[in-house]
Amino acid sequence: MTEATFRVREAVPDDIPLIADQRAAMFLDMRALSPGSQPELVRATVDYLRGALPRGEYLGWIAESITPRSQPIGGAGVQVRPILPRPSTVDDGIERGPEGIVLNVYVVPDWRRRGVGEALMRSVLTGLAERTVHRIVLHAAPDGRRLYERLGFVPTNEMRLETRRGYNKVPRSTTIPTEK
């Protein structure tokens, strides 16, 4: 039997700076954040989490190595948000929420492909089940897609429109002729 080399625990308020750092590292790895923007993202994340974590609007899990000394090696989080009632996709009932959106799944490079991401996600799914959160969504980076599919996630019909600050125009479409 293989001895465990890491553990996963639920995040506490003292972990907020770590969560913010891991979030920035995740976006840097995906090349979605410039290094110059990292400090601003960390500050904004800390500010957000100071309110959201104690209110239960954000739940987090931290993976830590246990040999030779404990150090953080990864993390994952969930934003818990209310949703409008909608038809259920699993039965004939009505789904009332809340919904969990998985965020900030990150493992430091030296610990990747060693089961840390899966352990984090299993902890997330268990924690959400204990809180009766049954609808769970995420945006999968290419490197994580196989893991999420293995855990039962399926692609959906979601689309997205992003607008830039100071630019709120809807993209132009073809002109619809009007009657004279």
Dump pLDDT digits (tens) for 23-42: 999 999 999 999 999 999 99
Q: What is the DSSP string of 96-112?
A: ---EEEEEEEEE-GGGT
Q: What's the distance, CA 173 to chain centroid? A: 33
Q: Which burial class, exposed, middle or buried, applies to 91 when counting CB atoms under 10 A from its CB (0-12, 13-18, 19+)?
A: exposed
Contact 111, 120 (CB under 8 A): no
**pLDDT score of 153:** 94
Using CA atoms, how far apart are residues 169 and 88, in angstroms rounded to an integer? 34
Q: Which residue has the higher pLDDT, 172 or 22?
A: 22
**pLDDT score of 91:** 84
Report the topology of domain 6-11+53-150.
Aminopeptidase (3.40.630)
Residue 116: what are its φ and ψ, rounded to 5°? -70, -45
Mean pLDDT computed over 81-86:
91
With cut-offs at 50, 70 and 90, classify the pLDDT of residue 1.
Answer: very low
What pTM was estimated for this model as a whole?
Answer: 0.85
Using CA atoms, how far apart are residues 23 and 122, in angstroms rounded to an integer? 19
Closest CA to 48 of 17, 7, 88, 25: 17
With cut-offs at 50, 70 and 90, classify the pLDDT of residue 158.
Answer: confident
Query: Strands 86-87 and 71-81, how do they pair?
Result: unpaired
The angle formed by the CA atoms of residues 73, 78 and 81, to the nearest 5 degrees, is: 165
Q: Which residue has the higher pLDDT, 95 or 64?
A: 64
What confidence tens digit (pLDDT) does each residue in 40-81 have? 999 999 999 999 999 999 999 999 999 778 899 999 999 999
Region of 115 please: left (phi>0), alpha (psi -120 to 50) or beta: left
User: Domain-by-domain residue ranges, the chain?
Assistant: 6-11+53-150
Look up residue 47 and give its two tokens: 């500010």
Q: Sign of the C-alpha dihedral, residues 57, 54, 27, 119?
A: negative
